[in-house]
């Protein structure tokens, strides 16, 4: 008699749909900077505001394309925790030497090249050391040599503590408590900042820029954007997602259709919450409570939504979306995403030179912006292919060969 019993779904670490999500995240980041860097080409903040407001509504998400970084953080929390949880389940221990060696050979070879290129004239300084050891976001974020790599400093700090966090988690209860504690830390930190500096809830970033209040912009950047406490909940929800999939795969893969619809609505609501906050629109007093709520809870809720999405994808509970995110053309974008992240500003600048020029301009058309964006994406992908083949992949392979 033929056994027709269906085998339970057992997800593996390497899944095309998660690569698809990573690809979308880097596309969001490159799109954001393709728009954001145009302000330095315009003679006034008012001109950049006019350009930003002229974008079609379908491109409005670009102004919050920086949320791609949040997606990266949740993915990092998920994937690293998946590896470490599974290793502890199978061997009873975590090999710290191997973990840190793998992280080093994944990140530092290409990062060191980017830093050395950026400091070619200045030489080795304390500023360079701050960037190497990722303490600059605690001391002086303005000293970050490649300003967009603040998120790499956050990642490196998470790498430093994630094995300890994994060891703290012994069951579902401790996982829930840890996630709740780190989320409360994020909200509590944000509440302290907003209470100490109420001007950050009374003005948007464009208001502050129009008023020339650069010190307040620095406050926002330092305390509500790059600070590690603001980002901890994103890693925490990624960890919680990994725990859920490893221990409750059968339950997750059998969620009823009606519940899937409800969960999808929750994901859409949570992922859409930060879109209510457009930091490059003049803020009205009636809108201030919405902004205050978003600044307090937006990143936590967004992280929870992305983690829930990853869990449902990885447990095969959303097969249609899984197939969509698994489209073949997204895979190389995901593979080259680290190089694209490090070097895409070079290609944004190349796109600006090609389609707009270097002279100050009052207006930029949507077609010109599209040209800048296309050069940024395609150029950084091409360099990504080169660096992956000759730097990243050989370094990763060496690290695995040397440390297992």
Per-residue confidence (pLDDT) for residue 94, from 0 to 100? 87
pLDDT above 90 for 266: yes
Per-residue confidence (pLDDT) for residue 57, from 0 to 100? 81
* DSSP codes joined into one string, 311-370: HHHHTTS-HHHHHHHT-TTHHHHHHTHHHHHHHHHHHHHHHHHHHT-SS--S---HHHHH
Examine residue 2 and state whether it is found in any structural domain, yes or no. no
Examine residue 343 and state whether it is found in any structural domain, yes or no. yes
- Kindly state the average pLDDT of the residues 260-269: 91
Residue pair 109/397 in contact (Cβ under 8 Å)? The answer is no
- Number of domains composing the chain: 1
Per-residue confidence (pLDDT) for residue 103, from 0 to 100? 94
Residue 2: pLDDT band with limits 50, 70, 90: very low
pLDDT above 70 for 8: no
Per-residue confidence (pLDDT) for residue 9, from 0 to 100? 47
pLDDT per residue as tens digits for the range 89-139: 888 888 999 999 999 999 999 999 998 888 876 677 777 888 888 777 777
When comparing pLDDT for 201 and 27, which is higher?
27
Per-residue confidence (pLDDT) for residue 249, from 0 to 100? 77
pLDDT above 70 for 12: no
When comparing pLDDT for 150 and 59, which is higher?
150
Average pLDDT of the chain is 89
Examine residue 8 and state whether it is found in any structural domain, yes or no. no
Examine residue 151 and state whether it is found in any structural domain, yes or no. yes
Residue 186: pLDDT band with limits 50, 70, 90: very high
Examine residue 101 and state whether it is found in any structural domain, yes or no. yes
Examine residue 71 and state whether it is found in any structural domain, yes or no. yes
Examine residue 3 and state whether it is found in any structural domain, yes or no. no
Say which residue the tokens 């009823």 belong to. 256
Per-residue confidence (pLDDT) for residue 401, from 0 to 100? 92
Residue pair 88/378 in contact (Cβ under 8 Å)? The answer is no
pTM recorded for the entire structure: 0.93
Examine residue 1 and state whether it is found in any structural domain, yes or no. no
- Kindly state the average pLDDT of the residues 275-289: 81
Per-residue confidence (pLDDT) for residue 255, from 0 to 100? 80
Which among 22, 226, 33 has a CA at the least distance from the CA of 138? 226
- Kindly state the average pLDDT of the residues 298-316: 93
391 to 92, 184, 190, 395: CA distances (angstroms): 34, 40, 39, 6
pLDDT above 50 for 403: yes
Per-residue confidence (pLDDT) for residue 6, from 0 to 100? 44
Which among 241, 222, 228, 301 has a CA at the least distance from the CA of 268? 301
- Kindly state the average pLDDT of the residues 167-172: 90
CA dist 212 and 221 (Å) reads 15
CA dist 271 and 287 (Å) reads 20
pLDDT per residue as tens digits for the range 308-325: 999 999 888 888 999 999
* Residue 69 lies in domain: 16-403
Per-residue confidence (pLDDT) for residue 4, from 0 to 100? 43
CA dist 144 and 219 (Å) reads 16
Which among 13, 262, 29 has a CA at the least distance from the CA of 151? 29
pLDDT above 80 for 84: yes
């Amino acid at each position: 008699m033929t056994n027709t019993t269906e085998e339970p779904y057992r997800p593996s670490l390497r899944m095309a749909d998660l690569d698809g999500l990573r690809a979308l995240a880097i596309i969001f980041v490159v799109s954001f900077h393709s728009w954001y860097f145009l302000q330095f080409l315009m003679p006034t903040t008012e001109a950049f505001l006019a350009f930003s407001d002229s974008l079609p509504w379908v491109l409005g998400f670009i102004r919050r394309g920086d949320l791609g970084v949040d997606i990266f953080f949740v993915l990092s929390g998920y994937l690293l925790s998946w590896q470490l949880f599974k290793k502890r389940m199978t061997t009873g221990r975590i090999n710290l030497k191997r973990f840190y060696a793998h992280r080093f050979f994944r990140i530092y070879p290409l990062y060191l090249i980017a830093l050395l290129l950026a400091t070619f004239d200045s030489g080795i300084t304390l500023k360079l050391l701050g960037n190497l050891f990722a303490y600059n976001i605690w001391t002086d974020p303005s000293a970050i040599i490649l300003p967009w790599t603040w998120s790499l400093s956050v990642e490196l700090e998470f790498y430093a503590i994630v094995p300890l966090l994994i060891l703290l988690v012994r069951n579902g209860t401790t996982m829930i408590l840890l996630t709740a504690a780190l989320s409360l830390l994020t909200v509590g930190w944000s509440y302290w900042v907003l209470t100490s500096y109420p001007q950050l809830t009374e003005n948007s970033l464009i208001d502050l820029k129009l008023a020339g209040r650069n010190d307040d912009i620095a406050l926002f950047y330092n305390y509500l954007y790059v600070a590690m406490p603001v980002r901890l909940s994103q890693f925490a929800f990624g960890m919680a997602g990994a725990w859920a999939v490893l221990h409750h795969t059968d339950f997750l893969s059998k969620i009823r259709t009606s519940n899937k619809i409800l969960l999808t609505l929750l994901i859409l609501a949570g992922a859409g919450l930060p879109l209510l906050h457009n930091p490059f629109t003049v803020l009205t007093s009636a809108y201030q409570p919405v902004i205050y709520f978003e600044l307090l809870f937006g990143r936590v809720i967004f992280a929870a939504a992305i983690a829930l999405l990853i869990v449902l994808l990885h447990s095969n509970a959303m097969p249609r979306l899984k197939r969509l995110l698994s489209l073949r053309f997204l895979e190389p974008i995901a593979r080259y995403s680290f190089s694209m992240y490090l070097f895409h500003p070079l290609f944004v600048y190349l796109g600006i030179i090609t389609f707009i020029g270097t002279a100050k301009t009052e207006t930029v058309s949507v077609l010109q912006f599209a040209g800048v964006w296309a050069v940024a994406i395609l150029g950084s992908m091409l360099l990504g292919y080169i660096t992956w083949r000759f730097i990243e992949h050989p370094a990763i392979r060496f690290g695995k060969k040397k440390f297992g």
